[in-house]
Structures are given as C-alpha cells and as structure tokens.
Structure 1
Amino acid sequence: MTVPVPRIGIIGADAPRQILLAAGATPVRLFGAWSGDISREAAELLGAADAVAARVLDGVLSGLHDDLAGLVVCNDSAANLRVYYVLRLLAERRRIPYPVQLLDTPRGGGPHVNRFVARQYERLAGFVSGCTGQALDAESLAAAAGREASLGEALRNVRERRVAGTLSGSAALRCYAAAAQLPPEQALAAIEAVQQNDAPKPALPVFLTGSSHPDTTVYEALEQSGIAIVGEDHDAGDAAWIGQTVDAASPDEAFRALAELHAQRPPSASRSLTSERTEHLLAEVRRTGAAGVMALVRDLDDGPVWDLPGQREALAAGGTWLAGVVRVPADGAAAAAAELIASVQLSGEIAS
C-alpha cells in the first residue's frame, strides 16, 4: 500500500520548495480567494488586514486544511505576519491539529542577510523533517532538484506561450496554482491539461502589477473585455518562486546557495524599494511586449500603492500608459476589473 506523502501548507511565497520536497513533503500554498464570506471569528482575530489573508485564516479555522502535517507562514507581508501570530496562539491551544512555523527571509542579499536567510532555511528543514519523519540529505536534495526543475521548464514554456499570444493569462495563472499546490508529477499533468484546453483570442497585451491574485476572477473579467494579461509581477504568477533549485553536496551548502538565489528574486512590493520595483517592471514590459500596464491593489494591501507614482512616471517617459485601481474592497474584484477596463477605454489606449 502506498503511504500518502505528508502535505505542508505554505502561506506566502518565500519557502524554497526544494527543501520541502527533499524533507519528504508536498508543499501546498494556501491562496485564499478574491471573494467569499469572512467569519466573524477570523475578522476579530486578525483585525484590519487584507481580505485575502483573512480568507486564508478562515480556511484554517474552518478545518479546510486539517489534512496538513504542518504549516509554514512566510513573513513576506504585514498581513501574513499577523496571520502567523494568530495561528501560533491557536496551535499552542490545540485549536488547529498541526504545528506552525514562521519563515522570515528578508530580501536584499549581502553576506549578513544571506547568512541569516540560510539559518532560516536550516530551521525550515528541521521543522519539515519533524513533520514528515524524513531527514534531509544530499541525496534527497538532488532528487528534489530534479522534480522541481521539471516544473521550472514547464512554467518557462507557459511564459513563452503567453507572450506569444497562444496561452491566456488566466490559463497561465491556473498553471502556476497547480505548480504551487500539487506534487510535481501531478502538477506537470495539470499544466499540460490547462494548455491543451485553452484557446485565447487576439487581444490587447497588458502587463499586470499591484496585489497578488489568489484566483483567476479578475483575469477572466479582463479577458472577456479584449485584454490579454501577458505577464505580472505578483507572487502568484511570474514572480512565484517555483522551479528554481541548487546543486549542493550537503544541506548546509544547499541552504547557503538557496539564500543567494533568494536574494536574486524579483522585488516584492512589501520588501523592496520603489526604484527596484520600477526597474523590474520596465524590464518585464519590454520582455512581454505589453502595450500598457494595469495596476490593481486591494484595500489594506498598501505596499504596491507606494510604487505607483514612480512606476507611472517611468513608464510615461517611455511612452507606456498605466491604468490603476486602488483600495479595492473585500468583495470588489469584479467591480474593480470593470473600473479598470473603463479607465483604459476612456483614456483611449485600447482604441489606439
């Protein structure tokens, strides 16, 4: 009889999947959703925070993820850190049936930061091994690298097809979600199925910035209006840390190499300078051939808002427009997409 592989939940986007796979776990990212009820308990425990984070917490409180062997919460946003504090207390009181671990990996690189991040990865490996009962070693790291690298190749093909106009943005987002939530072998099959069943129509190529997207709601609304999302800088899409691996002769060497790799990741709104975010956005617009940029920011997800003035100015200098909608309310995804479409149409970008 086949023994089920333990599943470790991930809140956030900073966990190196190679470590979890090598320690005998399937990493499963918890995304939340653009819409849906938020229980009174989750709202009171979390306080004023991004609605998507509240829905992630609600899923944990409702028992939706009770099959997990453990949960890792990344300190990659203020909302996720608040979720961690709540879950840590609930775990101590045995309200949830699995242990919770914080992963704090700052960006920026440099010897001191990389050393700190490597130690965080060592703690992560110990936590996951404690949940699965499988020690991490050079052999398991190599096997995990092979499994994860295959996902990286599949997602590179997804990005290329999307830029070429043969794959829609919503299909690409579903591919990323499959890669983030399924064992690599199952994810590869799911990615292939998504690509076979997608037939996008010619549309205006647009790059998306702002908040991360937990599902395809907004993408689908934009596509129905004749807009194609050819790329994005949020961590549920092109900025997801999936498919990247290191070769190492020992776990310690792997932790150090992964810390260096982490320092090279695309800049995030909550942990990077506006200048870094703007430079990355300009490079991505060139890579994707986008005609313009759309920015959509949820209420209480304030990081991306600070980037918009600098991004708008830099894009305008190169003749590229930016249309934005900020402070999107908890259940306002569809309305925000409609407002975003209207703002583009009124300024004449689609017609041109």
Structure 2
Amino acid sequence: MTVRAPGDGRPRIGVIGADLPRQLVLAAGATPVRILGSWSGAVSDEAGQLPGAVDVVAARILDGALAGAHDDLAALIVCNDSTAHLRVFYVLRILAERGRVPYPVHLLDAPRGGGAPRERFVARQYERLAAFCSAVTGTRPDAPLLDEAAERELRLGEALERLRARRRTGRCSGSAALAAYRAAATLAPEQALAVVDAAVEDVPGTPVFVTGSAHPDASAYEAIEAAGLAVVGEDHDTGDSAWLGDAVPAGDVDATISLLARRHSTRAPLAARSLTAERTAHLERRLGEADARGVIALVRELDDAPAWDAAAQHRVAQRRGLPLEARVRIGPDAGVRAAGEAAAALAGILRGEATHE
C-alpha cells in the first residue's frame, strides 16, 4: 500500500545523498524528501557496526531508518555519491528484503563528469529511476507531467536565487539559509517556497565562506555566527551546492532525461566525486561572488574527501589574501564545538588580534 504524505496527499520518497534530479520524482506524483541526519546525537551499536567505518552523519541516517523514523516513506532512493552512502544502501537493501524496513530501496548511481558516454550512462540511470518511482506511485512520468514538475521546481529555484542574493547583502543569516535549504530538500516545492521567501533578517557580522563536509543541520552555522561572523556562502551539498530548484521543461520524456543527465555533468563539484583542481577552481569562483573576508573549513572524521582538498584550498585563500581556519577529522560529537573554535580564531584574526599562518 502506498504511504501518503500528510497535507498534500502525495507519496513521499526519501532520498539519501545529493544526486537526485527532483523533477523525475515530482513528475511521478511524489514528493522527494532528503534525509539529512545531524551534527550530533547518539548512534546505536547496530547502526555503528552494520555499514563498517563511515562518516557519523551517514550512521545517524541509518540509525533513524532502523528506529522507524522514516516508516512513512513510500520508497527510498540512495545516491552513490560517497562510499558511506553506498554502504548504507547495501545495508538497507538487505534489511528491506528481510522486511526490517517497510519500503523498497533503490540505488541511483550517477557518476560526475562530462562526455557523451558518461551522460548516456547517467541517462539510463535516470530511466531506471523514473521506472522505480512510477512503480511506487502508479503514475508514469509523461511529457506534460515532466513539464509541470519543471515549472514547480523552477519556481523554487527562483526563490532560492532570491535567498542567495539576500545572503550576499546581509539580509539572511547562514543558519536561516541552511534551514531554508533543508525545507527545500524535504518539502513539496510550494511549501518550501514559502519557507525560503520568509528567510529574511538583518544580519550583523563579518562575511565568511564555509567549505568541507556537508552540514546536515544549522547548529555549526549558529556557532559560527555567535562569534560575530556571517556565513554568506558555502560549497557543500546541503547549501549552495545542493541540486535544488533546477529542471528542464523539454516537452519530451527522452529529451528531458537527456538534458537532466547533461545538467548533472555541469553541477558544482562535490568532494567525494570530484578532483581537487575542480573543487579549488569552484572555491575561487564562489569566494569572488560571496565577497567573503575569511574561510572556515570543517571536515568530519571518516569524511575523508574534503580533507584531501584542504592544502589546495589553503593556497586559494592565500592567493586571495583571506585567512582560512580549518578543523579536520572532527569527532562524532565535536562538530559544533569545532565550528565555534574555528570561528573564534578567525574572528580574532580578522580583528587583528592574532596572526594567521
């Protein structure tokens, strides 16, 4: 039996990871709901052991599934965008086969990078994704439904662009923006749009940019802002680099899938599936757009990919004359504390109270 969402009556399909083209899920009559986890909280022995050594946020996501926190979902899509998420998929697939979780689990394997062969592979993955969603909801995404979904998602994209403009001019805090991105990733576009447009406030503080691990909630940003800084941008997949508000009104099913695959190849580079050179070039562009005066890098233990970028990111910041404070291999419950320490150190440097090396 299909599980219906409260409020709009649409099935809710959960998403772990950052690679989902939301338009395909919306066109199948469902609402995509990204499952994000948190910076802090206990992890059961079972969730800690089943996937092996993984980023603690992924373990917390698995823990929630094991505890029944997502039993209202009609299905779950797991993106192969990191080793941790792939391991979580293997665990959940077995548990679904055994009836431990009450929804089917699908793997979306969409490698990054351009080129016709890779785009064809991703397009085939999207065809499988559309078929999976159709089997869950009973609605086959056709051209009119895809164009309607595109219109809904693009309206959300316009709201997110307004949000980014407000951040750059000091009219939306980083923590409020991150909460709005979370709403955009977990609600129907119309509901999310209201939340995004309501994120307006005057924000004092020195503008800074955040890189490193993705932030599943706003608690680390709140610690940064408590030090007198304002997060005006980031390059991780739960903030500005999230694949949200993007769609293609192509008027044809095959063309839509092909264009979405091409869009995927040009997305912002994320640490686990991109070269350091791509990441640093993107960071340089974003620092120019954000007009930040400093950079904070926060990398969780066992989320190794962002740590590989650290040295090159330091060089980018130095070329631009910006201080960069990094905290790498942050322990399971130390994220908020590490963010506060890095922010205090950076604030001191920006006030001239310390020398950045």
Alignment TM-score, normalising by the size of structure 1:
0.96
Separation in structure 2 between the aligned mates of residue 309 and residue 165 of structure 1, nearest angstrom: 30
Amino acid corresponding to residue 154 of structure 2 in structure 1:
A
Separation in structure 2 between the aligned mates of residue 37 and residue 3 of structure 1, nearest angstrom: 33
Contact map agreement 1:6 1:69 (CA 8 A) in 2: yes
* 1:84 equivalent among 86, 89, 113: 89
Residue-by-residue CA offset, 1:124-143 (whole Å, 9 max, x unaligned): 00001111010110000010
Residue-by-residue CA offset, 1:56-103 (whole Å, 9 max, x unaligned): 001111111101000000001111011000001001111110100000
Contact map agreement 1:180 1:242 (CA 8 A) in 2: yes
Aligned to 1:145: 150
**Does residue 1:34 correspond to 2:39, yes or no?**
yes
Task: After superposing the two structures, state which structure 1 stretch, 6-15 or 183-192, moved more.
Answer: 183-192
Aligned to 2:4: none
Structure 1's consecutive aligned runs of 4 or more residues displaced over 4 angstroms after TM superposition are none
**Does residue 1:120 correspond to 2:125, yes or no?**
yes
Across the two proteins, how many residue pairs are aligned to each other?
A: 347
Separation in structure 2 between the aligned mates of residue 330 and residue 53 of structure 1, nearest angstrom: 11
Deviation of 1:3 after TM superposition, in Å, equals 7.3
Contact map agreement 2:171 2:202 (CA 8 A) in 1: yes
Amino acid corresponding to residue 6 of structure 1 in structure 2:
P
Give the alignment of 1:189-200 within 5 angstroms: 189-195=194-200, 198-200=201-203
Amino acid corresponding to residue 324 of structure 1 in structure 2:
A
Task: After superposing the two structures, state which structure 1 stretch, 298-307 or 248-257, moved more.
Answer: 248-257
Contact map agreement 2:227 2:344 (CA 8 A) in 1: no
Contact map agreement 1:115 1:256 (CA 8 A) in 2: yes
Residue-by-residue CA offset, 1:325-349 (whole Å, 9 max, x unaligned): 0111111122211221243245x23
Separation in structure 2 between the aligned mates of residue 280 and residue 44 of structure 1, nearest angstrom: 36
Aligned to 2:14: 9
Separation in structure 2 between the aligned mates of residue 332 and residue 26 of structure 1, nearest angstrom: 33
Amino acid corresponding to residue 350 of structure 2 in structure 1:
E
Give the alignment of 1:7-86 within 5 angstroms: 7-86=12-91
Aligned to 1:320: 322
Alignment TM-score, normalising by the size of structure 2:
0.95
**2:240 partner SS:** coil
Gaps of 5+ in 2: 1-6
Separation in structure 2 between the aligned mates of residue 303 and residue 350 of structure 1, nearest angstrom: 32
Aligned to 1:207: 209
**Does residue 1:351 correspond to 2:352, yes or no?**
yes
Separation in structure 1 between the aligned mates of residue 50 and residue 304 of structure 2, nearest angstrom: 20
Separation in structure 2 between the aligned mates of residue 334 and residue 308 of structure 1, nearest angstrom: 20
Residue-by-residue CA offset, 1:25-54 (whole Å, 9 max, x unaligned): 100000000111101111111221101000
Aligned to 2:103: 98
Contact map agreement 1:247 1:254 (CA 8 A) in 2: yes
* 2:191 equivalent among 171, 186, 192: 186
Amino acid corresponding to residue 253 of structure 1 in structure 2:
A
Give the alignment of 1:276-287 within 5 angstroms: 276-287=278-289
Residue-by-residue CA offset, 1:133-162 (whole Å, 9 max, x unaligned): 101100000100110001000000000000
Distance change >3 Å, CA 3–CA 173, structure 1 → 2? closer
Amino acid corresponding to residue 50 of structure 2 in structure 1:
L
Task: After superposing the two structures, state which structure 1 stretch, 39-48 or 266-275, moved more.
Answer: 39-48
Separation in structure 2 between the aligned mates of residue 101 and residue 349 of structure 1, nearest angstrom: 47
**Does residue 1:265 correspond to 2:267, yes or no?**
yes
Separation in structure 1 between the aligned mates of residue 71 and residue 23 of structure 2, nearest angstrom: 23
Aligned to 1:168: 173
Amino acid corresponding to residue 235 of structure 1 in structure 2:
D
Gaps of 5+ in 1: none
Residue-by-residue CA offset, 1:247-297 (whole Å, 9 max, x unaligned): 223221111100000011000101111111000000000001001111000
Say what the alpha-carbon RMSD is for the aligned residues: 1.3
Distance change >3 Å, CA 3–CA 284, structure 1 → 2? closer
**1:24 partner SS:** coil
**1:148 partner SS:** helix
**1:270 partner SS:** helix
**2:207 partner SS:** strand
* 2:238 equivalent among 219, 236, 239: 236
Contact map agreement 1:204 1:350 (CA 8 A) in 2: no
Separation in structure 1 between the aligned mates of residue 168 and residue 197 of structure 2, nearest angstrom: 17
**2:42 partner SS:** coil
**Does residue 1:109 correspond to 2:111, yes or no?**
no
**1:27 partner SS:** strand
Separation in structure 1 between the aligned mates of residue 169 and residue 8 of structure 2, nearest angstrom: 42
* 2:335 equivalent among 301, 308, 333: 333
Deviation of 1:351 after TM superposition, in Å, equals 3.3
Separation in structure 1 between the aligned mates of residue 61 and residue 292 of structure 2, nearest angstrom: 32
Separation in structure 2 between the aligned mates of residue 220 and residue 126 of structure 1, nearest angstrom: 41
